[in-house]
């Protein structure tokens, strides 16, 4: 009986040793290759899109990105942050393509060689929204800087994004034009994206500057009304551009170029033209590919 058990035990022991050797060989074969088999190929099919929160919050990218992926076979990883952060990612080579709305800041990347192939895509506009009671008395005003002056003089709560986004850059430019340095308890910063800033402003019954698209998307969830609109300086223009692959070797040139081409192509421009009409009775963005930027006042 003991001899049979010993043979059985020996067989089991040999089997376990062979299994350990096989596992060891497999682990060794993967050393020096930090990516799973085939990962390098699949990575080439991905591109990183750094964009502003308004394109994400509005739902536009939920339509356009799947179209792009289906047409090209490339997959998109979208990082929606303030335009300032998106541009910073481009400046560091941490994204492949940018979709942003701060023209003067964008040009800095083009001039320093961090971005190429910058193309006009679309526009909408900014509006000032605020509580129905309108404590600063700005509703219906046509000059946005004069409206800002009234908000400051009334010390009415103003909620800034304070995140170096395109919207925040526009807001600060308006304060500068108005000759006001916003400070004090009436001026607060959310440090959040546009959707969340709208909710905070609504909860606190304050004013804020927002792109029209994000406001319309969240309109039914908040208690804020459009107070000031139509000032030409409130134009909100979006460009798409590649991060320069000659400056940053990890940047994927072909997928990024494909995305730029897709965004200015007729099919995507038609989607932009129609997006939001069925739900809001008006488009959230207006297509601009192929236009002279001077037509938009740039």
298: confidence class by pLDDT, cuts 50, 70, 90: low
Structure tokens at 171: 């807001």
| Structure confidence by residue, pLDDT tens digits, 233-244 | 999 999 999 999
Asked if residue 21 has pLDDT above 80, the reply is: no
Asked if residue 63 has pLDDT above 70, the reply is: yes
Half-sphere exposure of 223 (CA within 13 A, CB side): 9
45 vs 42, residue with greater confidence: 45
| pTM recorded for the entire structure | 0.78
pLDDT for position 44: 75
pLDDT for position 36: 33
Asked if residue 35 has pLDDT above 70, the reply is: no
293: confidence class by pLDDT, cuts 50, 70, 90: confident
53: confidence class by pLDDT, cuts 50, 70, 90: confident
CA distance between the termini of the chain: 95
- For the chain, percent of residues with pLDDT exceeding 70: 85
pLDDT for position 26: 42
CATH code, 43-124+236-291? 3.40.190.10
36-40, 165-169, 259-263: which has the highest mean pLDDT? 259-263
Pick the CATH number of 125-234 from 3.90.79.10, 3.20.20.370, 3.40.190.10, 1.10.540.10: 3.40.190.10
Q: Is 141 in a helix, a strand, or coil? A: coil
Asked if residue 5 has pLDDT above 50, the reply is: no
Mean pLDDT across the chain, nearest whole number?
87
Structure tokens at 218: 């969240």
In the chain, CATH 3.40.190.10 sits at 43-124+236-291, 125-234
| Structure confidence by residue, pLDDT tens digits, 197-221 | 999 999 999 999 999 999 999 999 9
> Where do the DSSP E strands lie in the chain?
46-52, 75-81, 97-100, 115-130, 158-160, 187-189, 208-211, 225-228, 235-243, 286-287
pLDDT for position 2: 41
Is the separation of the CB atoms in 210 and 101 below 8 Å? no
């Amino acid at each position: 009986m003991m001899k049979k058990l010993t043979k059985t035990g020996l067989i089991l022991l040999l089997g376990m040793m062979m299994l350990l050797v096989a596992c060891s060989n497999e682990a060794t074969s993967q050393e020096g290759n930090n990516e799973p088999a085939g990962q390098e190929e699949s990575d080439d099919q991905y591109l990183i899109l750094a964009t502003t929160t308004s394109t994400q919050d509005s739902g536009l990218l939920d339509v356009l990105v799947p179209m792009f992926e289906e047409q090209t076979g490339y997959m998109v990883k979208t990082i929606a942050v303030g335009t300032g952060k998106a541009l910073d990612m481009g400046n560091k080579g941490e994204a492949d393509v940018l979709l942003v709305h701060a023209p003067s800041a964008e040009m800095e990347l083009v001039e320093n060689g961090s971005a190429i192939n910058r193309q006009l895509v679309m526009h909408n506009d900014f509006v000032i929204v605020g509580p129905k009671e309108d404590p600063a008395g700005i509703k219906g005003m046509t000059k946005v800087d004069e409206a800002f002056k009234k908000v400051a003089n009334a010390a009415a709560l103003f909620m800034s994004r304070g995140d170096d986004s395109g919207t925040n850059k526009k807001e600060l430019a308006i304060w500068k034009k108005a000759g006001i340095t916003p400070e004090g308890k009436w001026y607060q910063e959310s440090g959040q994206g546009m959707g969340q800033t709208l909710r905070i402003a609504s909860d606190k019954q304050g004013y804020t500057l927002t792109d029209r698209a994000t406001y319309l998307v969240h309109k039914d969830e908040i208690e804020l009304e459009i107070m000031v609109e139509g000032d030409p300086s409130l134009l909100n223009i979006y460009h798409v551009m590649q991060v320069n692959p000659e400056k940053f070797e990890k940047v994927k040139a072909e997928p990024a170029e494909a995305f730029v081409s897709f965004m200015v192509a007729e099919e995507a421009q038609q989607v932009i033209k129609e997006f939001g009409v069925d739900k809001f009775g008006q488009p959230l963005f207006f297509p601009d590919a192929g236009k002279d930027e001077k037509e938009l006042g740039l």
